[in-house]
Amino acid sequence: MGEAPGDKPYEQISEELIAERARQQAQKEAEELWRQKEAEITKKFRDAMAQEKARIVAEKWKIEMEDRKAAKLEEEKIQEDLKKREEEERQKGEEQIRQQEEIRAKELYLSLKQAQQHGQHSDDDQEWKEQLRRSKAADEERSHKARRARDEYRRQSLRAIQKGRVADLSNLFQGTGLNNDQETKLNSSSESPLLSHSVASSKIWERPSRPFSREVIIRWFKEEQVPRRAGFERNTNRIAQWFHGIISRQEAEELLMNKSEGTFLVRVSEKIWGYALSYRQQSGFKHFLVDASGDFYSFLGVDPNRHATLTDLIDFHKEEIITSSGGELLLEPCGQQKNPPDYSPLFE
């Protein structure tokens, strides 16, 4: 994951580490099995040789000297035969252990791979749950503010009526007084135009609990993010150089591969309602999730600061680090390398 063009991508290095870990574990288990097997083989043939030698000695001991030479030759022949059989069984045992080692290495590899994938799914679920929690909190805060605004409007209206200052309200109600029915109409119409627009829009666009397709993400961006000028430069209608469309982590890393430390881009996330900021550091890459499910933009689990716009968040971290441990500053935006740009579907 260095800066040289020939360096391996993160996924390949991860695969190789898992395979190597599985191979070493299987080799360790195979060595232990071989020690046990070798001890059994050695003991078996040592006992056999001892028994055979004892038998030969017992039978031939009393034979005269000329017969002892033949007995010695017979003993050597038997020993040679036993050694040959021992070597054959030893080779057979080694082959069995080697096959078990290969099978065990594959089993461990699959187990470690499944554990890694389960960990990734757990991280995705945790990120989505965190955004859902923050989204609910933001909805409750908006409802609370709207309720307080209605209560305050009602209180001010009643206060104006009590003081006899109804002239300022006459143009709205075409009369000189307020009865109970008119007060009810006033309260029902006291909601802000923005809230009324949100209610009307919700009949057309209702955001799912989480993004589940590319089409839904594009619809979300057009309905909720374009009106908030997400991806635009400040005070212009040009798309920011750092803004990208729905691209993967791997595509982002390929764009940042030969860039200097501090280069960054922002891409539309496929995991949460928000974005991912991909950052080039000296030893590789970092990816930070940006929550955009509420009325503000903020990093998930990293920085508690809230920003009114996506551009505000980027500009803030051009001067302030993202994490104290990493010291990440947004120094250089990473632009487009394709034509048309990868964000084209979001603005069609």
pLDDT at 38 (0 to 100): 87
Higher pLDDT: 89 or 310? It is 310
Using the predicted structure, report yes or no on whether residue 94 has a pLDDT greater than 80: yes
Which tokens is 284 given?
A: 């590789």
pLDDT at 170 (0 to 100): 37
pLDDT at 86 (0 to 100): 87
Q: Given pLDDT bands bounded at 50, 70 and 90, which one contains residue 12? A: confident
Task: Tell me the average pLDDT across 234-243.
Answer: 94
Q: Given pLDDT bands bounded at 50, 70 and 90, which one contains residue 178? A: very low
pLDDT tens digit sequence for 54-90: 887 777 776 666 777 777 888 888 888 888 888 888 8
pLDDT at 278 (0 to 100): 96
In percent, the amount of the chain with pLDDT more than 90 equals: 34
CA 26 to chain centre: 29
Using the predicted structure, report yes or no on whether residue 265 has a pLDDT greater than 90: yes
Q: Which of 145-149, 260-264, 334-338 has the lowest mean pLDDT?
A: 145-149
Mean pLDDT of the chain: 78
Q: Given pLDDT bands bounded at 50, 70 and 90, which one contains residue 135? A: low
**Residue 218 · residue 242 · CB < 8 Å:** no
Q: Which of 157-171, 189-203, 312-326 has the lowest mean pLDDT?
A: 189-203
Using the predicted structure, report yes or no on whether residue 283 has a pLDDT greater than 80: yes
Q: Given pLDDT bands bounded at 50, 70 and 90, which one contains residue 182? A: very low
pLDDT tens digit sequence for 287-305: 999 999 888 999 988 778 8
pTM: 0.47
pLDDT at 128 (0 to 100): 61
50/237 Cα distance (integer angstroms): 96
pLDDT at 209 (0 to 100): 83
